[in-house]
Structure 1
Amino acid sequence: MIRRPKVIHIVTAASSVGLMRGQLAYLREAGFDVYVISSPGEKLQIAKNREKVNVYAVPMEREISPLKDFVALWRLFLLMRRIKPVIVNVGTPKAGLLGGIAAYLARVPCRIYTLRGLRLETAKGFKKNVLYICEKVAVFCAHRVLPVSNSLCRQAVSLGLLDPKKAHVIGKGSSNGIDVSRFASMNEGALKHEKIRCQLGIPEDVPVIGFVGRLTKDKGIIELIKAYKVVKSAFPDVRLILIGRYEEGDPVPQNIREEIKSDKNIIQTGYVNDVAPYYRIMDCLAFPTHREGLGNVALEAAAAGVPVVGTLATGVVDAVIHGETGLLSPIGDVKALADNLIWVLKDENLRKRLGNAGRKYVEEHFQSEYIWQELKDFYLKVLVECGVAENNKEWGSLYNAAGEKYVKLQ
């Protein structure tokens, strides 16, 4: 029996395991023995059953917590010593730091850091300095770094965090791609989205602005509510749907929360397990974020044919082409955001043009299968770079593929 190379993927929260949906099973079927580590949660167990991979729960705090962080680091180190992986891929800030250090100490042959975003972009003072040091350590512990977008890569390099020679961006970006069929197929699912519209109490003829994501300051919720008030003066019946939860790590001010709660035209759904059908009731997606790794929700909306009105933030500029698949404005510019929202809501032909171009852009560059194939090829290249494939010739066809891919990727 051929021994399969072991790869561990680590993310901080169980909810982030969903960022690897389909990818884990693909790697397993490609010949890897796949393990996933995250904090305890339902999504971790779902991945175990759906992807048929090994999972371990290690509690990790998203915010800085020295004692709990040390305990998590020790547990990660012990797990790696026991599993003996040849590749560890860490992602999300805390897992990137703790998992990266643990892999370094455990002498894992191939260490990869998937850079999904830079929290320090919007942090200030002491916290920003701490986050900078954490990112430097995470990058140092990795052999290779996979920024999820080209703009994120450029930002990390410009901040002195990353040597360009250490970086590799898959295609135009993304860590998992988009399952286009999951969103595009909704064109035939009129009954489903009409049911959702009815459940939310939205009349058929009123315009709808959607927002999907964490309800935090970094996501631009303050600017969105201010812009919404301007839009409401032009479209009194407009509805704003907020899909997501508040987070206390980057809290929205109480006065903004009260405005949201008191406005009958603002609909809060809380967390939604499957957001796909909700895109079809939106006339546009508002994406006023201050920073992203890659704007995944913008790509999802585009796959559903929904135009995106966003900002010129890191990660967003890779997901949205201004004037072609959506409209972008400077970060924090409420007037420009409101003007773009009004423009899209007023012009049906513009909505259709942006939506159709967005779907085509996602289909051509962000299909999940393409990203998975590129990631597998990158793993094979790293196995050769680190000398692991040559020392494990019992891997047979996988070793041969690694050699071939290395030649192609050099």
Structure 2
Amino acid sequence: MKGKKILHVVSVSFSLRYFVGNQFHYFNGKGYEFHVACSGSEEFDNLAQEFGFKQFPVPILRSINPLQDIKSIYKLYQYIRREKFDIVIAHSPKGGLIGMLAAYFAQVPTRVFFRHGLVFETVTGFKKYLLINIERLIGFCANSIVNVSPSISKISDQLHLNISSKNVLLGKGTCNGIDTVRFVPRAGYKNPEITTVGFVGRLSRDKGIVELIEAWKMLSHEYGSIRLLLVGPVDERDPLPTATLEQIKKNPSIKYVGGVSDTALYYNEMDVFVLPSYREGFPTVTLEASASGLPIVTTKVTGCIDSIIENVTGLFAENTAKSLYEMVKFYIDHSEIAREHGENGIQFVRDNFSEDYIYTEVEKKLLAR
């Protein structure tokens, strides 16, 4: 039997690897046909070759641009009508707005929006009001809304972003599962003489990097044999203060790697993983770190709160330098507990977030409708 014809809509091609990734291979093998609408780029071309989907380049700007957005909605509407998709799946606020409006006007029978996070949580004033109402418009146009974590679902209900009957949760959360073959503990990468604390993600205010660097100043004064490993690009849309960037450059105990194509081996260099974020949808990096056998220090905010079991796979810190200092220090001083929490994390991810499990959930709850 021929599988369904599916269109994914994203604003930037970079996110495809994380939002969909190996799902393309898995469902292609079951007869599904995938197309992707996204702003054109060389990376988009390369990903189409790697994952085997058909491309439809259309400008999807991350900023609000009414004239261009209307043009993109119409262009996408025409493409959807021509190709007669069974399912349109849109990601992120802007991809969701363009994708769900076009699919709604084209009367696609199954329209799915992945709510990967709540951007408005860290903004105020009119912009917050506007972003909330964009979410409500997307929620109206979609048949199903996949909230990527239980805490996202809770806030969605509190703010009436869509009717509750549309809400879908894949297992305990996440959007794409974790590759438990790629993210595993590996011997030979750690320096036994140095305790390495690691972070993976965008270096931005929202990720709590300012507080992390302040905490690190205290930790590096107290301990001689520790290192902070930062993996990820500096975020220009949410820039760090100059003083924080200077600390990252000048502190000899901080190693900044920058953006990398594959983070798996970097987790294997770490002894503790920290994500001091102010907001998340569901932090994939925390699950990757747990799958790699690392104890986690993270914050009790949307998304992050669902990504560990407190005192079993990790510890919660407040969004302050003092609290981050105390939680990281606990793991440095209690290496046996750190090791135990890391081992518990491996099983936590395998039981609840493996790709095979999440892909079964995707097919059952979204594609089989």
TM-score for both structures, normalised by structure 2: 0.95
Q: Answer with 275-284 or 43-52: which moved more.
A: 43-52
1:132-143, aligned counterparts within 5 Å? 132-143=132-143
Selected match of 2:296 from 308, 314, 322: 308
Partner letter of residue 88 of structure 1? Answer: V
Q: Does 1:157 align with 2:145?
A: no
Task: Give the distance between the partners of 1:17 and 1:254, measured in 2 at CA.
Answer: 31
CA contact (8 A) 2:193 2:225 kept: no
Residue 286 of structure 1: aligned partner: 274
> Who is 2:21 aligned against?
21
Paired residue type of 2:49: N
8 Å CA contact 1:25–1:53 kept in 2: the answer is no
- Give the drift of 1:204: 4.7
The answer to whether 1:11 aligns with 2:10 is yes
2:336 paired residue number: 349
Contact between 1:221 and 1:288, CA under 8 Å: does it hold in 2? Answer: yes
Counterparts of 2:66 and 2:257, CA distance in 1: 34
CA–CA distance in 2 between the matches of 1:306 and 1:179? 16
Q: CA deviation at 1:288?
A: 0.2
SS of alignment partner, residue 182 of structure 1? coil
Instruction: Choose the corresponding residue for 1:219, options 207, 210, 213.
Output: 207
* 2:87 and 2:367 in contact (8 A); partners too: no
Matches of 1:224 and 1:66 in 2, distance apart? 38
Counterpart residue identity of residue 103, structure 1: A
Q: 262, 281, 284: which one pairs with 2:250?
A: 262
* Distance in 1, Cα, partners of 2:63 & 2:293: 36
In structure 2, the residue corresponding to 1:183 is in which secondary structure? Answer: coil
Aligned pairs for 1:31-110 within 5 A: 31-110=31-110
Post-superposition shift, 1:31? 2.6
Letter in 2 for 1:141: C
Are 2:358 and 1:379 aligned?
no
State the Cα deviation string for residues 310-359 of structure 1 (Å, max 9, x = none). Answer: 000111111111111011123x2221111000111121101111100000
Displacement of 1:103 after TM fit?
Answer: 0.8
Greater CA drift, 354-363 or 38-47: 38-47
Q: Distance in 2 between matches of 1:380 and 1:244?
A: 33
Match of 1:403 in 2: none
Is the 1:77–1:105 Cα contact (8 Å) retained in structure 2? yes
- 2-side partners of 1:31 and 1:372: how far apart? 14
Rate the CA distance shift 1:126–1:251 in 2: closer, same or farther, 3 A: farther
Q: Structure 2: 5+ residue runs without aligned partners? A: none
After superposition, the C-alpha distances for 1:248-290 in whole angstroms (9 at most, x for unaligned) are: 2222122222222222222221111000000011111110001
> Which segment is superposed worse, 306-315 or 258-267?
258-267
Deviates more, 1:352-361 or 1:76-85: 76-85
Q: CA deviation at 1:41?
A: 3.7
Which digits, 9 at most, give the CA deviation of each residue in 1:369-392, with x for residues without a partner? 11111101123442xxxxxxxxxx
Q: How much does 1:43 deviate?
A: 4.5
How far apart, CA to CA, are the structure 2 residues paired with 1:28 and 1:51? 9
Cα distance, 1:50–1:314 mapped onto 2, change above 3 Å: same
3-state SS, counterpart of residue 186 of structure 2:
helix
TM-superposed deviation, 1:133: 1.3
The SS at the match of 1:274 is: coil
Tell me which moved more, 74-83 or 134-143. Answer: 74-83
Whether the aligned pair in 2 keeps the contact of 1:177 and 1:368 (CA below 8 Å) is yes
Separation in 1 of the partners of 2:305 and 2:263?
A: 23
Q: Aligned to 2:280, what secondary structure does the other structure show?
A: coil
Letter in 2 for 1:62: R
- The change in CA–CA distance for 1:242 and 1:65 in structure 2 (over 3 A counts) is farther
Whether the aligned pair in 2 keeps the contact of 1:97 and 1:138 (CA below 8 Å) is yes
Residues 17 and 43, structure 1, Cα contact 8 Å, conserved in 2: no
Asked if 1 retains the 8 angstrom alpha-carbon contact of 2:101 and 2:138, the reply is yes
CA distance in 1, matches of 2:258, 2:40: 21
| Amino acid corresponding to residue 17 of structure 1 in structure 2 | L
Counterparts of 1:21 and 1:247, CA distance in 2: 23
In the other structure, the counterpart of 1:407 is none
Residues 211 and 242 in structure 1, CA contact (< 8 A), matched pair in contact too: yes
Provide the TM-score with structure 1 as the length reference: 0.86
- DSSP-derived class of the 2:181 partner: helix
Closer, same or farther: CA 65–256 of 1 in aligned 2, 3 Å: farther
Contact 2:198–2:230 (Cα < 8 Å) also in 1? yes
8 Å Cα contact 1:21/1:47 also seen in 2: no
CA contact (8 A) 1:211 1:243 kept: yes
Q: For residue 57 of structure 1, report the CA deviation from its aligned partner.
A: 2.5
Separation in structure 1 between the aligned mates of residue 344 and residue 2 of structure 2, nearest angstrom: 46
Q: Which has the larger radius of gyration?
A: 1
Give me the identity figure in percent.
35
Q: Which secondary structure does the structure 1 equivalent of 2:168 belong to?
A: coil
Moved more, 275-284 or 160-169: 160-169
Residue 338 of structure 2 aligns to which amino acid in structure 1?
R
Would the alpha carbon gap of residues 268 and 301 (structure 1) be closer, same or farther in structure 2, given more than 3 Å must change?
same
Corresponding letter in the other structure for 2:121: E
